Amino acid sequence: VQPKHLGCVGLSCFYLAVKASEEERNVPLATDLIRISQYRFTVSDMMRMEKIILEKLCWKVKATTAFQFLQLYHSLIYENLSCERRKYLNFERLETQLKACHCRIMFSKAKPSVLALSIMALEIEEEKLMELTEALEFLQLHSKVNNRDLTFWKELVLKCLTEYSSSKCSKPNVQKLKWIVSGRTARQLKHSYYRITHLPTIPESSS
């Protein structure tokens, strides 16, 4: 992909993902996405890029993701834990670990099932939930993940999470993140996108 086309590729992929996962009423207009992104290509350019991407994907836009595998594995394994031990297998923590891995380009080469299973296996080892060993082996068997692949990706995931947890890794303060729109972009957007119209006061009748 040529550098000058990266913006169009990125926005087209995002738009395809939105259309595949969101309800139709929540899908924004392509023109508004282009305005917000401040790119110079047209809607026609974006539609052509969408077609190219779809052809590359053989029109399969609803592939099962590592997040969905992680949800499935967690729900199946969770049932094997006693009530007092369930707090040690927190899904939000697993999701955060997956997000950290997705920040590394190398994990785009991992099969979604293998990546999810690697994260789950490491968490079970970390929390010393040995009673889940058999259930984990069952998942590995039915997911058709061989030991070599699992070991390989577990090592990479462990390295990634170790670096992510270190003080050297600079993580953004979510509380301070803001979406800043320039004045020029704000003027181009629809009025309702950046300002809420105040409704008239409803008169109260005395009872």
Task: Compute the CA torsion angle 179, 180, 186, 192 (nearest 10 deg).
Answer: 30
Q: pLDDT tens-digit profile of 13-70? A: 999 988 887 888 888 888 888 888 888 889 999 999 999 999 988 888 777 889 999 9
Q: Check residues 84 and 174 and name the one with the higher pLDDT.
A: 84
Q: Which pLDDT score, from 0 to 100, does residue 81 have?
A: 85
Q: Which pLDDT score, from 0 to 100, does residue 177 have?
A: 58
Q: Which pLDDT score, from 0 to 100, does residue 181 have?
A: 67
The angle that helices 147-165 and 112-126 make with each other, rounded to 10 degrees, is: 60
Mean pLDDT of 67-87: 90
Q: Which pLDDT score, from 0 to 100, does residue 193 have?
A: 46
Give backbone dihedrals phi and psi of 73, rounded to 5 degrees, phi first: -60, -40
| Residue closest to 118 by CA, chosen among 93, 97, 90 | 97
Burial class (CB in 10 A: 0-12, 13-18, 19+), 198: exposed
Q: pLDDT tens-digit profile of 127-180? A: 998 889 899 999 999 999 999 999 999 999 999 999 888 776 655 555 555 666
At 196, is the pLDDT very low, low, confident or very high (cuts 50, 70, 90)? very low
pTM of the model: 0.66
The structural domains of the chain, with segments of one domain joined by +, span 3-56, 66-165
Q: pLDDT tens-digit profile of 111-136? A: 999 999 999 999 999 999 888 989 99
Q: Which pLDDT score, from 0 to 100, does residue 157 have?
A: 96
